[in-house]
């Protein structure tokens, strides 16, 4: 694992950065990424899940809303030519257009509680563009 850049989690984005290597490993094993997969990570944050996904598959597309995290991700994964960042809101993202004529997408993410249900509904609406989805849902904050 590379060093995670410092960034203060933003409450408005529901950010809670994944750091537990055991949980990260379990998620990656559950996904079982292969080089033939079209992997898409929603909300890579500081890249904790991104790195092992990239190491396993060799390529990955990510969707990140927080523009302050994007430069760090570009630096952290500069040596992966097949790492693509899409800046935007996953709730508004066109997953069918991303799929295009290629294979169906395998979607992964560590989702904030507040967007999990609408995002899953949005992804289900993309129909055949999505092969499968693997998410960790963050616990709802009692202060939210």
Dihedral of alpha carbons 36, 42, 82, 28, sign: negative
Q: Determine whether the annotation assigns residue 87 to a binding site.
A: no
Beta-strand relationship, 60-64 and 83-87: parallel
3-state secondary structure at position 38: strand
Q: Determine whether the annotation assigns residue 61 to a binding site.
A: no
Q: Determine whether the annotation assigns residue 18 to a binding site.
A: yes
Q: What separation in angstroms does the CA of 76 have from each of 5, 23, 81, 115?
A: 9, 21, 12, 26
Burial class (CB in 10 A: 0-12, 13-18, 19+), 110: buried
Contact present, 120 and 95 (Cβ < 8 Å): no
Q: Determine whether the annotation assigns residue 64 to a binding site.
A: yes
Q: Determine whether the annotation assigns residue 16 to a binding site.
A: yes
Q: Determine whether the annotation assigns residue 43 to a binding site.
A: yes
- The DSSP code for 8 is P
Binding residues: 16, 18, 43, 64, 89, 110
Binding residues for S-adenosyl-L-methionine: 16, 18, 43, 64, 89, 110
């Amino acid at each position: 694992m590379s060093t995670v850049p410092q960034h203060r989690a933003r409450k408005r984005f529901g950010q809670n950065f994944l750091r537990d290597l055991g949980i990260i490993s379990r998620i990656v094993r559950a996904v079982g990424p292969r080089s033939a997969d079209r992997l898409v990570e929603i909300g890579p944050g500081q890249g904790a899940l991104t790195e092992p996904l990239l190491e396993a598959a060799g390529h990955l597309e990510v969707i990140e809303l927080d523009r302050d995290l994007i430069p760090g991700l570009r630096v952290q994964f500069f040596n992966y030519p097949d790492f693509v960042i899409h800046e935007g809101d996953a709730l508004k993202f066109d997953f069918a257009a991303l799929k295009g004529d290629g294979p169906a997408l395998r979607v992964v993410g560590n989702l904030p509680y507040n967007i999990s249900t609408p995002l899953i509904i949005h992804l289900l609406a993309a129909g055949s563009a999505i092969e499968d989805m693997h998410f960790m849902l963050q616990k709802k904050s009692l202060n939210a």
